[in-house]
Structure 1
Amino acid sequence: MKQAALGRDLFYDKILSGNRNISCATCHHPDLGTGDGLSLGIGEGGVGLGRERTAGTGTSRIKKRIPRNAPALWNLGAKEIHTLFHDGRLSISDDYQNGFNSPAEEWLPKGFNSILAAQAVFPLVAQFEMAGNPGENQIAGAVHERIDAPWPIIAKATRTKGDYGPRFVDAFEHIIAPEEVTIVEIANALAAFMAVEWTSIDSRFDQYLAGDISALTTSEQSGMALFYGKANCSSCHSGPLMSDQKFHALALPAFGPGRTRRFDPMVRDVGRMGESDDLEDAYRFRTPMLRNVALTAPYGHNGAYATLEGIVRHHLDPLTALDAWQPADAQLPDAPWLAAIDFVVHSDRLERARHRAKVDIQPISLSDQEVADIIAFLKALTGTTLDTPPFGVPENFEP
């Protein structure tokens, strides 16, 4: 529990960012379902929290929107999880003899005690998330040397701040002196906190599964029957995680800067193909888990839909929903200097055609009442003790 307590303070501390102006909690706050409430995040250079967050001003304003929606953190400590990120670019593997296939390849240190811990180090070195821009700070400069170069800098800054050094010694048996603390211990502490704080398996649906038939209303039980039957939701949202951890193309509306590759001819996001280099994976994204889904709007890998009804109806008829979608549906804080980029991919004729040609799900016809029942069931996946987490937000937290 000492590691988790240490991880809590680190999670809400801006010491992990290049310019000391953003923390993990800025984009993953419990008041926002452990996300940020935005379609595409406002990282380094932004001001504020959630939908009130602005894109900044002057020379410190954001240079780019975060290309994808900030994923929720519920149940990421589950041992069954083997793949993370919307495109699966982090997975359990021994390809590089360090336990993971990751963007750091052989440069990822050994010693991470979970995939959640390994994941925690990558936002720290992402330019537009937490690292900052070249010339602004030492971490941002080191990122452009090699992906692992900033981690020792971050570790030193962290272990020498306040009482963090002695606390690491107290929390980790193998650490004898603060000077031994590395990015691995920082990540393991962060993962310990997230696993404890945001494990959520006490929803009314869980109570129903445990034998309490009265835990779900008639509408919610009808929605559950549709979810696992006619609506075919469980073909992807399966198992205890409510995710098959696989990748599917849903023709979600495309917008934003996209997670582009060096040779992409335009701003776009090809999803899993960006990691696998397999054309079959074009526009496929990882199936999200669904616990507390009612709290984690907006929905989709880029937050295209602000409501559960919107994303449910898109699943039922992807291409019709794609045609009906409007840019105004996106939750994007105003940034006029990025306006030329925000929706250019949405209006590109050739990219739209490629996008529409890749859909992995077939249309399903449901009545309005059946849709309402599915939404009721999804809301029943909300945990019943979320208001009393083990740690909570520090009183001195500032977004």
Structure 2
Amino acid sequence: MLNNKKSLTKSSYNLTTISILTTLMLGCGGSNDPQTPVSEEPQLEVSVSEASKVRTAIEGLNLVGDPSLGRTLPDINSPKAQLGMKLFFTKGLGGDFDSACVTCHHPVLGGGDDLSLSVGVDADTPDLLGPGRLHNTSGTHFDGGPTVPRNAPSTFNLAMWDKYLFHDGRVESLGATAGRSGDDGLGIRTPDSPFGQADPNAGTTLAIAQARFPVTSPEEMKSFTNFNGLNNTQVRSNLEQRIGDYGNPLGGLLPLNRWLAEFQIGFDNAQGSAEELVTFANITDAIADYENSQVFVNTPWKAFVEGDDEALSLEAKRGAQLFYNSVEKGGANCASCHSGDFFTDEDFHVVAIPQIGRGKGNGPSGNDDFGRFRETGLDIDKYAFRTPTLLNTAATGPWGHDGAYTSLIEVIKHHLNPQQAVDNYDYSQIAPNVQAFDMLKNTQLALDQLAANRTAGIVSLEEVSLSETQINDLAEFLKALTDPCVENRACLGKWIPDASDSNPDTMRVNAIDENGNFL
């Protein structure tokens, strides 16, 4: 995040021309700014002028500043969202009782885990989240590095996604339209269904559909012990019986179980039985309400769009012009892909972020990640990843589908000149245990794909030259896309259980950082 817990980086892989902003850049003003303004009045006049230029740049884009408008979203204080929060924080949903949804998605860590790549199951200290979380030496497939092959996306503003979830879009609304998240009558495709075909068990929203899958990933929550060898349906069946305290699930029932009363309250059915209420469909429904309640859109940019010319700093106003203006007009054309009030076209682009980590099993050594190609099988989709939203991006690093950038400046350089950035990649920005043996080889293939796409006329990231001052201005604009709540522990407290909340199975993650402080 933008506080002392974040080094700022999460490379949002983006898009065309310089979309150099795939992430949020932390800057400190332009080096050409006057050291001492002559008076307050001239400075104010300059600011007003710059505000007018920004409004000219966004004219005709129909921006309202708030992507949540027109959506029906749950309140964190609703009974179902409260139930979802408790489920989100319990290790009872982990196959081996050592991981939870929050393990990789804690609100204080930007709705992610502040790591380039996550460690789900088999951690040294299950309740230690973020930097310092390590794979236990006795854990399955131990190699010293993180176990999950992709960066944990933030859960913040999850409800704003209309088309795709996951970096490769493997949860997909088949009839999505702008401003409407869900199946739109055509259904939602998931990894449980063939490409292009709706999953009849996906539920009615992308959040519900997505919540069905972390528990089925061996590295994230399923583990390699209790549920080893089970298919997705069997895993979910065992979990609903475990939480519901019925049947004979593998791994046994919880030592203490007061979940039925929680489900009766959450689903407003005081007489409902465990078999009726504690189903996996209801588990994911409640978790989705919790996630979809994480709406953080009250940014300085929103205030500016709504009419407050002074909501942005002078530097941010100059950065906004770079963001929205085309290259021909002296800008960077970032908005061509980071478009709309949610700052994403919800499409897939090859940006060639350095490939680190274990990979997804692709390539000769199995440590490459072919991105969207894994879903579509189309050559043009090889190494393409979903355009990230830029809302709160300063607080949701590291950046990139694999968190390869933990330095804002390095991310900017990458988008300015991907080939040069990869050739000069600074390995010291990632934790020393992160796997990067074949990084150059695998990433060069992505760079070659980017070049081929450009030659074929496919909308792609372009190289744009920016000065140091322009980079800082752009960074200041991106900082203005952050809701102050996501950097305020007290404000985030509504989404984090405290000692006064019931703990239905005594298996809640009491998250600590590497220094032993509670998050």
CA distance in 2, matches of 1:269, 1:167: 40
Give the conservation status (yes or no) of the 8 Å contact 2:187–2:200. no
Report the equivalent of 1:86. Answer: 167
SS, match of residue 225 in structure 1: helix
Closer, same or farther: CA 344–389 of 1 in aligned 2, 3 Å: closer
Report the equivalent of 2:80. Answer: 3
Residues 85-106 of structure 1 deviation map (CA, whole Å, 9 limit, x = unaligned): 10111101389x9822111117
Report the equivalent of 1:200. Answer: 296
CA distance in 2, matches of 1:111, 1:355: 32
CA distance in 1, matches of 2:388, 2:351: 13
Report the equivalent of 1:377. Answer: 477
Q: Does 1:140 align with 2:239?
A: no
Q: Does 1:171 align with 2:251?
A: no
SS, match of residue 496 in structure 2: coil
Residues 64-118 of structure 1 deviation map (CA, whole Å, 9 limit, x = unaligned): 621110111111112x5221110111101389x9822111117955362310111
Report the equivalent of 1:392. Answer: 495
SS, match of residue 391 in structure 2: coil
Report the equivalent of 1:104. Answer: 192
Q: Does 1:54 align with 2:166?
A: no
Give the conservation status (yes or no) of the 8 Å contact 2:299–2:484. yes
CA distance in 2, matches of 1:231, 1:394: 43
Q: CA RMSD in A?
A: 2.3
The residue type paired with residue 177 of structure 1 is S
The residue type paired with residue 300 of structure 1 is G
SS, match of residue 449 in structure 2: coil
Report the equivalent of 2:107. Answer: 30
Report the equivalent of 1:220. Answer: 316
Give the conservation status (yes or no) of the 8 Å contact 1:306–1:331. no
Closer, same or farther: CA 30–71 of 1 in aligned 2, 3 Å: same
Report the equivalent of 1:323. Answer: 423
Q: Does 1:232 align with 2:333?
A: yes
Q: Report which of the two structures shows the higher radius of gyration computed on alpha carbons.
A: 2
Question: Alpha-carbon deviation of 1:353?
Answer: 4.0
Closer, same or farther: CA 17–62 of 1 in aligned 2, 3 Å: farther
CA distance in 2, matches of 1:395, 1:171: 18
Kindly indicate whether structure 1 or structure 2 has the higher relative contact order, using CA contacts under 8 Å at least 6 residues apart: 2
CA distance in 1, matches of 2:141, 2:120: 10
Residues 288-334 of structure 1 deviation map (CA, whole Å, 9 limit, x = unaligned): 111111111111111111123322221122111111113322236x3
Residues 152-180 of structure 1 deviation map (CA, whole Å, 9 limit, x = unaligned): 11111122363321222332258932212
CA distance in 1, matches of 2:201, 2:367: 34
SS, match of residue 248 in structure 1: strand
CA distance in 2, matches of 1:380, 1:140: 46
CA distance in 2, matches of 1:271, 1:20: 30
Give the conservation status (yes or no) of the 8 Å contact 1:45–1:62. no
Q: Which has the higher helix share?
A: 1
Closer, same or farther: CA 68–111 of 1 in aligned 2, 3 Å: closer
SS, match of residue 159 in structure 2: coil
User: What runs of 5+ residues in structure 1 fail to find an aligned partner?
Assistant: 336-341
Report the equivalent of 1:77. Answer: 159
Give the conservation status (yes or no) of the 8 Å contact 2:117–2:403. yes
Report the equivalent of 2:395. Answer: 295
Report the equivalent of 1:66. Answer: 148
Match of 1:279 among 359, 379, 391: 379
CA distance in 2, matches of 1:354, 1:185: 43
CA distance in 2, matches of 1:130, 1:111: 19
Q: Which moved more, 1:103-112 or 1:162-171?
A: 103-112
Give the conservation status (yes or no) of the 8 Å contact 2:356–2:436. yes
Give the conservation status (yes or no) of the 8 Å contact 2:94–2:100. yes
Give the conservation status (yes or no) of the 8 Å contact 2:202–2:208. no
Matches within 5 A, 1:7-22: 7-22=84-99
The residue type paired with residue 168 of structure 2 is D
Q: Does 1:151 align with 2:232?
A: no
Closer, same or farther: CA 74–257 of 1 in aligned 2, 3 Å: same
Report the equivalent of 1:343. Answer: 436
Q: Which moved more, 1:315-324 or 1:295-304?
A: 315-324
Report the equivalent of 2:502. Answer: none
Give the conservation status (yes or no) of the 8 Å contact 1:99–1:110. no
Question: Alpha-carbon deviation of 1:264?
Answer: 5.5
User: What runs of 5+ residues in structure 2 fail to find an aligned partner?
Assistant: 1-77, 176-182, 246-253, 326-330, 451-459, 500-508, 512-519
Give the conservation status (yes or no) of the 8 Å contact 2:319–2:474. yes
State percent identity of aligned pairs: 32
The residue type paired with residue 357 of structure 2 is G
Task: State the aligned residue count.
Answer: 380
CA distance in 2, matches of 1:110, 1:121: 9
Q: TM-score, normalising length from structure 1? A: 0.89
The residue type paired with residue 29 of structure 1 is H
SS, match of residue 495 in structure 2: coil
Give the conservation status (yes or no) of the 8 Å contact 2:85–2:287. yes
The residue type paired with residue 5 of structure 1 is Q
